[in-house]
Structure 1
Amino acid sequence: MLKLTNPDTLYAPPSNYSHIVEVPGGSRMAFISGQVGARPDGSCPEDFAEQVEQTLKNL
């Protein structure tokens, strides 16, 4: 069974998208994809370097 997680510290995902999907089994794996440089309020920095920094914070 997959565990879908959307942290309160990130923007609300569109549609049925989930920020994190965990796959149970012999080991714990989390698949993280589609991260962008959006702030928790949904706004996005104009500067590319700031967007990269925010993307890494979102991880």
Structure 2
Amino acid sequence: MIRHISPETMPKPASRYSQIALAEGATRRLEISGQIGIHPDGTLAVGLAAQLDVALANVDRALAAVGMGRDNLMKITVYLTENSPDAVATYRARRDLWVGDAPPPAATLLIVAGLASPALLVEVDAVAAG
């Protein structure tokens, strides 16, 4: 069982994420490698919002491959190559839409100088348990 907690004694999350994700009695732990905005057919999505959507969909595919779903997510880490208020707002909006009604996982956002290719604007890795 995973408990998603944002204690009153900690700063309130800026959007849909939890300050703490605690797995108790979990028998499986899943580490998902960094997912990028490339569709299963090998094509690259165009633009930050589209790459975010595809990378998050790839996280969903990884979870489904082992019989898990978003309820199993403990943490996501997102790497963006653009450091602007618009990029951060786009990330938060796309992530919040993706999380939806699921318990919001713990989350970290990093702004990086670059990824494996200059065409890549975002990478998402995740940890799940269940």
Q: Which structure 1 residue ranges, 4+ long, deviate > 6 Å from structure 2?
A: none
Larger relative contact order (Cα-Cα within 8 Å, sequence gap ≥ 6): 2
Instruction: Give the superposition deviation at 1:34.
Output: 1.5
Which structure 2 segments of 5+ residues have no match? 1-25, 60-130
| TM-score, length of structure 1 as denominator length | 0.52
Matches within 5 A, 1:1-59: 27-59=27-59
Which structure carries more strand by proportion? 2
Q: Which runs of 5+ in 1 are unaligned?
A: 1-25
What is the percentage of aligned positions where both structures have the same residue? 38
- TM-score, reference length from structure 2: 0.25
The aligned amino acid for 2:48 is F
DSSP 3-state at the match of 1:31: strand
Equivalents in 2 of 1:38, 1:30: separation in Å? 21
Q: RMSD of the alignment, in Å?
A: 1.3
Letter in 1 for 2:30: A
Would you say how many aligned residue pairs link Structure 1 and Structure 2?
A: 34
Greater helix content: 2
